[in-house]
Structure 1
Amino acid sequence: MTRAIRIVSLVLVLLLGGVWATAWFGRAPGESVADAFLRRIAALTGAEMPAPSAGGVQLAQGVMLGGPFTLVDHTGRTVTERDFAGRPLLVYFGFTYCPDVCPTELGTIAAALDAMGPAGERVTPVFISIDPERDTPEAMADYVSRFHPRMIGLTGSAEQVAAAARAYRVYYAKVRPRDSTDYLMDHSSFIYFVGPDGRVRSLFRPETTPEAIAAAVSAQLRAL
């Protein structure tokens, strides 16, 4: 029995190693080895898995991000996911006191929309605060206006923000730097492309170029 288990384990290791090697040498331009590996596994099992977009992270089969939320926009109006139904979105979670990453990624979103030309007008940029204690609607209105004229800022109560973050699996936590009386927010930093159905179609790692995001989103829009 033990010998049979060892043989089966060896076969599985060799099989997975072969699939990984095939993924390494046969991945598409802009596709990571991990994404190519998952696509090969999906093909072997007969599952459907769309090819990853250039510059984006392909969600694993069965993983769903996005969903219902209730928040307050930068004009003070309560909104839900239904207010964005039928509209593709580029979504980023951050906070207005962010010293570097947030303004960089929001600038990337704005540049990507500009690079898309007329197609970019179909996509609504959305900035969701993970610091509702300081990010009032007024603060959000001033902040988003610095990046793009169509960018929408969303905040809300601590409970509302937490629920939205859970739907997108966003990590965030308050941290207080040493020798400081103020705090910062540690948080994950992905840009999410959300389809008209409110579900995340792809996400982009920090420092993905505007050109890569524009190319990936444009391809997704053509497929809608």
Structure 2
Amino acid sequence: MNKRNALKKIVAYVILTGATGLFVACSPNAPKFTAIDITGADYAKDFALTDHNGQQRTLKDFQGKIVMMFFGYTQCPDVCPTSMAEMTEIKKLLGQDGDRLQALFVSVDPERDKPEMLKAYMENFDPSFLALYTTPEKTAALAKDYKVYYKKVDGPTPTSYTIDHTAGSYVYDTTGKLRLFTRYGTKPELTVADIKQLLPSP
């Protein structure tokens, strides 16, 4: 009889705690993002890349900041400059919290995107933004880990190719955890609202 009562209590506890989890998930206080919420995703956890100043970088270097990470290339005619300009606007709209945002541009074209070119490209948008690169082989491995698509499209000459690639940015919170994927073309104001929900109070 005691065993039966004990079992009933255990089952009741499991049901209660499970229900509590559901209530928390459905709570009106839970974050509601415009971007795709990928909290807990088992990929894109870290990277080891070189920035345009020649410094080795990992996510740990940006602890305490929101990180927005975009994959592109400097000779991209439209999506890349538009996305970086939107990041510039996002930083501006964050006001005093703008310094708590780190924008990262990861090159999918390391054969043409040399450090000096990447640095000049970042300076067109914001001097605090960093461009990152690695070898072609490691770029492919990184893209696979980040579930990023890219493929060369031949041009009229061997060096005038373009690259089709994933458009959108990963967002990490201030502890370095992957939280969001922002779609290309999302209004900066909406991304700012998402970011503010990830920023801990000063």
Sort the TM-score into its range (normalised by shorter chain).
0.7 to 0.9
Task: Determine the structure 1 residue equivalent to 2:50.
Answer: 72
8 Å CA contact 1:71–1:161 kept in 2: the answer is: no
Displacement after TM superposition at 1:135 (Å): 0.8
Q: Distance in 2 between matches of 1:98 and 1:48?
A: 43
Task: Determine the structure 2 residue equivalent to 1:221.
Answer: 199
Q: Which has the higher contact order (CA 8 A, sep 6+)?
A: 2
Q: Distance in 1 between matches of 2:131 and 2:60?
A: 16
- Please, which moves more after superposition, 88-97 or 64-73? 64-73
The runs of 5 or more residues in structure 1 that have no matched partner are: 1-41
* Residue 104 (structure 1) aligned to one of 71, 76, 82: 82
Counterpart mapping for 1:19-38 below 5 A: none
Identity of aligned residues (%): 34
Q: Distance in 2 between matches of 1:47 and 1:172?
A: 40
* Residue 67 (structure 2) aligned to one of 74, 89, 95: 89
8 Å CA contact 2:40–2:179 kept in 1: the answer is: no
Counterpart mapping for 1:1-224 below 5 A: 46=22, 51=30, 53-59=32-38, 62-177=40-155, 179-181=156-158, 182-222=160-200
Say if 1:222 and 1:82 are closer, same or farther in 2 by CA, change over 3 A: closer
8 Å CA contact 2:174–2:198 kept in 1: the answer is: no
Q: Once superposed, what is the RMSD of the aligned Cα atoms?
A: 2.6
Say if 1:77 and 1:124 are closer, same or farther in 2 by CA, change over 3 A: same
8 Å CA contact 2:174–2:199 kept in 1: the answer is: no
SS of match in other structure, 1:198: coil
Say if 1:188 and 1:223 are closer, same or farther in 2 by CA, change over 3 A: farther
Q: Distance in 1 between matches of 2:180 and 2:54?
A: 29
**Residues matched between the structures, number:** 181
Say if 1:66 and 1:85 are closer, same or farther in 2 by CA, change over 3 A: farther
